[in-house]
Chain A
Amino acid sequence: MAATTVLPRPKAYDDTFFKPISIWLTTTDHKLIGIMYMVTGILSFVVGGLFALVIRLQLSQPNAKVVDAETYNQLISAHGVTMIFFFVTIFLTGIANYMVPIMIGARDMAFPRVNLLGFWLVPVSIILYYSGFFTGGALDAGWTGYAPLTEKAYQSHSLGVDFWALSLIVWAISGIMASTNFLTTIVALRAPGMKLTRLPLFVWAQISTSILLLVVGAPLAAAMILLEFDRQFGTQFFTTQGRPVLYQHLFWFFGHPEVYIMILPGFGMISEIIPVFARKPIFGYISMVMALFGIVFLSMTVWAHHMFTVGMNTYVEFFFMIMTMLIAVPTGIKFFNWIATAWWGSIEFTVPMKFVFGFMATFLIGGLTGIYLASVPVDTQLHQSYYVVAHLHYVLFGGSVFTIFAGLYYWFPKITGRMLNRKLGEWNFWTLFIGFNGTFLIMHTLGLEGMPRRIATYANPAWATTNTIITVSSFLIAFSVLLFLINVVRSWYGGEIAGNDPWGGNTLEWATTSPPPPYNFERVPAVRSFMPLRDLKDSGEFVDPEAMPLPA
């Protein structure tokens, strides 16, 4: 026998998903917890999307009676709550849970059991929220749940609001746990050589996101606790006799940073993906990091731009207007740096790269309409109209969802060991891009013509054609998501074997096997820049993880 220390090892990708349920229930492995977060997020995406389809059917024609007004109000609330709290935030926590430890060369999160508890609070939160439907009706005041409409005097027929409030308290606790864990992991468990200036930008984005959630999670819980005191113990914080606008301040102090919690990880993914497929390093690494922290700071000083019609002092309004507009500066820096990264590149238009460019093309529109909305006089026209609905979907769908798809197509091979099918991916992208713009581009005009959001139906025949086009396009989005689901299931079973580094990556996750072993690395590679894997490949020092000897 030859004296070699290389041992054969099982093909790990054969057993990623088919594990005994007891392992899924009790695992503290950040990768399995990450997968559970992501699967929970995608399931919520499907549920929230089904709500949206019913909403669109109801609005497709004037005076439609698909659902009654009370059911409609529950549906729009459930759509918002599901997409924001249970899909985007949860999915992004999952992908970060999976990738952050590997990208910094750690073996796991800093507190694996806190990670486990934090994840399992999510299904608790989700079940609490949907339980509202069985108490005579779930939350029916929109996802923001403005008081006094959510107070007992106006919402006494069910416990929907109470279950929603409890659900968000649990959700906030879970988020605070995850954020603490991310920050500690990134501060304490970086591989040797992984200085802060060498962190991948996705990890920087996760630092920013975690700081935000850590700061604003508590005010959200506070708002919900005060609301529950009003409803159950007869206090008068936000009632008609109290101060209803105080609720809006508390809610939006959470609510606006939450928008950035849902987009900054996406920014991070874009900053990872473009350099790989353009074969160029990221342009302006330091300014990218500074822009992230600029956004973190500014996003906590803009909340009252959601409240320009409640009647504030004009100087206060001016402050919130100018802080809001200033966010365009760091966001612009990121945009220009991304374009400069791709400029002179040798760009391979893989499916993830298509989603990256789809994201930039659409998010730009969301950013520009944001400037209109930030201007106080113009906002008094656009506020609470379909213009805002269009704007927020350009930011959260054209923004967050496109980045989520980009990230999934990019990292699916690492997570499962198999590629997502390229042809289905192309179809997925183009149907989504066309369906999305068909749905939300002309929606701006409905708001300009005076259609308020959250109306259960309308009599105005002038809005009929536009609404019909929007409804038809929204079903194209649904078709696209169906293609995506088929692609995920098919590829997870029988997709093309990916190998460890299918894209020619720059960062550490591509230096280990696909999927990585439970301890992530046989041997943590040396880190000399923010592109550690590329350094090793360039200098010829890279050792294939399959051929690496097992630790003694």
Chain B
Amino acid sequence: MAARARATFATIGLGAAALALSSCGGIGGISPIFPTPVSPNGQDIYNTYLLISIPALIIFVGVEGALLWVVLRYRRSRQPAGYVPPQVHGNTTLEIVWTVVPLAIVLAIAIGSFVTLQKDFQPIDNQQMSVTISGHQFGWIYTYDNGVVVDQEGTLAGDVPPFVVPVNTLVKLRFQGTDVIHSWWVPAISGKTDAVPGYDNFSWLKINQTGEWRGECAELCGAGHSTMQIIVQAMDQTDYDQWVQTQLAAKHATPSPSASPSPSPG
């Protein structure tokens, strides 16, 4: 009786865990995947994530199911009295199968990932414009080809000036670190890239719609780490041109144009 109650309890527990994972998508605010990407490289990452999810979910359901079956079927209380289990020491065929099948699966995942890697993670040179993003304790400075500078000095609330790009424009991003290592991450656009002192890192974006997206620094960089908020805004070309003019006018109106805007780390 007690054994049966325990069996039921075990079933409910393991079942609930499985259900919780599979039903993540249904609960508001709890997402099983990244935000909908707005840049092709982000889209490729999203697709790779989906590709991995197919075997991952099958293996998850299969193995948890097998565990549940073992828990329910092979407990001593469910076996006939005096049952002596077969003394099996192994089975070469089975063992080869569960070596080769996972091997094939991970090789497929690795090749799929490598295609995306070669496609999206090489430094590009066909960009339509480029921006240098420099991280410091605690904020980001964006220097455009045309002389515009956006200074996202960090605040926790994230009320920082946006880093503005035109839509449907291939923008090359160059990352620099001036003090410690920072990492620039806007999940809706693409993955993160580290801003490391000593060498330049590269990434790119090509946003397909107007709008505003948030991100923040992903590499612990000191007490102000959580204030290194990011806003990226994509505008139509005409709005963008106007924004550039406003920025340049404001810059020339300022009495002391900031030649080297990054504050010294002290």
Interface residue? A16 (CB, 8 A): no
Among the stretches B103-111, B127-135, B142-150, B252-260, the one at the interface with A is B103-111
Q: Which of B71-98 contact A (CB under 8 A)?
A: 71, 74-76, 79, 83-91, 94-95, 98
Residue of A nearest to B24 (CB): A445
B122 to A314, Cβ gap below 8 A? yes
Q: Which of B187-234 contact A (CB under 8 A)?
A: 187-188, 190-194, 196-199, 201-202, 214-226, 229
Interface residue? A112 (CB, 8 A): no
Residue numbers in B under 8 Å from A457 (CB-CB): 156, 226
B137 to A154, Cβ gap below 8 A? yes
B52 to A361, Cβ gap below 8 A? no
Residue numbers in B under 8 Å from A63 (CB-CB): 156
Residue numbers in A under 8 Å from B67 (CB-CB): 339, 357, 360-361
A500 to B112, CA, bound (A): 55
Q: Which of A40-80 contact B (CB under 8 A)?
A: 63, 68-70, 73
**Residue with the greatest number of chain A CB neighbours at <10 A, chosen from B48, B84, B181:** B181
Task: Give the contacting residue for B87; candidates A146, A281, A445, A450; CB below 8 A.
Answer: A281
Is the interface on chain B under 10, 10 to 19, 20 to 34, or 35 or more residues? 35 or more
Interface residue? A17 (CB, 8 A): no
Q: Which of A408-447 contact B (CB under 8 A)?
A: 430, 433-434, 437, 441-442, 444-445
Interface residue? A287 (CB, 8 A): yes
Residue of B nearest to A73 (CB): B223
A199 to B247, CA, bound (A): 73
A328 to B104, CA, bound (A): 11
Q: B217 to nearest A CB, angstroms?
A: 7
Residue numbers in A under 8 Å from B75 (CB-CB): 347-349
Residue numbers in A under 8 Å from B64 (CB-CB): 361, 364
B106 to A325, Cβ gap below 8 A? yes
Given contacts A343-B74, A371-B56, A376-B117, contact A310 B194 (CB under 8 A): yes
Contact with A along B1-37 (1 / 0, CB 8 A): 0000010011001100100110010000111111100
Task: Give the contacting residue for B52; candidates A146, A332, A372, A444; CB below 8 A.
Answer: A372
Contact with B along A279-318 (1 / 0, CB 8 A): 1110111110000000000000000000001110010011
Residue numbers in B under 8 Å from A361 (CB-CB): 14, 17, 64, 67
A346 to B118, CA, bound (A): 52
A149 to B220, Cβ gap below 8 A? yes
**Residue with the greatest number of chain B CB neighbours at <10 A, chosen from A149, A348, A377, A457:** A377
Contact with B along A17-29 (1 / 0, CB 8 A): 0000000000000
A69 to B29, CA, bound (A): 26
Given contacts A365-B21, A365-B60, A377-B44, contact A243 B198 (CB under 8 A): yes
Residue numbers in A under 8 Å from B56 (CB-CB): 368, 371-372
Interface residue? B183 (CB, 8 A): yes
Q: Which of B229-251 contact A (CB under 8 A)?
A: 229
A371 to B32, CA, bound (A): 16
A349 to B192, CA, bound (A): 46
Residue of B nearest to A441 (CB): B20
Interface residue? A124 (CB, 8 A): no
Interface residue? A12 (CB, 8 A): no
B106 to A380, Cβ gap below 8 A? no
A241 to B197, CA, bound (A): 7
A81 to B157, CA, bound (A): 31
Given contacts A240-B180, A381-B45, contact A322 B103 (CB under 8 A): no
Task: Give the contacting residue for B225; candidates A69, A311, A326; CB below 8 A.
Answer: A69
Interface residue? A455 (CB, 8 A): yes
B216 to A452, Cβ gap below 8 A? yes
Q: Which of A313-361 contact B (CB under 8 A)?
A: 314, 317-318, 321-322, 325-326, 328-329, 332-333, 335-337, 339-340, 342-349, 354, 357, 360-361
Residue of B nearest to A284 (CB): B90
Residue numbers in A under 8 Å from B66 (CB-CB): 339
SS class, residues of chain B in contact with chain A: mixed
B89 to A69, Cβ gap below 8 A? no
Residue of A nearest to B110 (CB): A322
B106 to A154, Cβ gap below 8 A? no
B113 to A378, Cβ gap below 8 A? yes
B193 to A380, Cβ gap below 8 A? yes
Interface residue? A449 (CB, 8 A): yes
A287 to B98, CA, bound (A): 11
Interface residue? B265 (CB, 8 A): yes
Residue numbers in A under 8 Å from B91 (CB-CB): 283-284, 340
Residue of A nearest to B191 (CB): A380
A368 to B18, CA, bound (A): 14
Interface residue? B124 (CB, 8 A): no
Residue numbers in B under 8 Å from A437 (CB-CB): 17, 20
A454 to B6, CA, bound (A): 40
Interface residue? B102 (CB, 8 A): yes
Residue numbers in B under 8 Å from A285 (CB-CB): 89-90
Q: B175 to nearest A CB, angstroms?
A: 8
Residue numbers in B under 8 Å from A332 (CB-CB): 98-99, 102
A377 to B185, CA, bound (A): 13
Of the A-B pairs whose beta carbons lie under 8 Å apart in the complex, a sample of 15, sorted by A's number, is A68-B223, A283-B90, A284-B95, A321-B110, A326-B106, A329-B106, A346-B85, A357-B10, A361-B14, A376-B116, A378-B48, A380-B190, A381-B34, A450-B187, A452-B217
Q: A281-B87, A347-B74, A377-B44 provided; 10 other pairs, C-beta below 8 A?
A: A73-B220, A149-B220, A322-B107, A342-B74, A348-B75, A349-B75, A376-B114, A380-B192, A381-B45, A452-B216
Residues of B near any A CB (own CB < 8 A): 6, 9-10, 13-14, 17, 20-21, 24, 29-35, 44-45, 48-49, 52, 56, 59-60, 63-64, 66-67, 70-71, 74-76, 79, 83-91, 94-95, 98-99, 102-103, 106-107, 109-110, 113-114, 116-118, 120-122, 137, 156-158, 177-181, 183, 185-188, 190-194, 196-199, 201-202, 214-226, 229, 265
Residues of A near any B CB (own CB < 8 A): 63, 68-70, 73, 140-142, 146, 148-149, 153-154, 240-245, 278-281, 283-287, 309-311, 314, 317-318, 321-322, 325-326, 328-329, 332-333, 335-337, 339-340, 342-349, 354, 357, 360-362, 364-365, 368, 371-372, 375-381, 383-385, 430, 433-434, 437, 441-442, 444-445, 448-450, 452-460, 462, 465-466
Q: Which 7 pairs, one residue from A and one from B, show the smallest C-beta to C-beta distance?
A: A380-B191, A455-B226, A325-B106, A450-B187, A311-B201, A375-B113, A284-B90
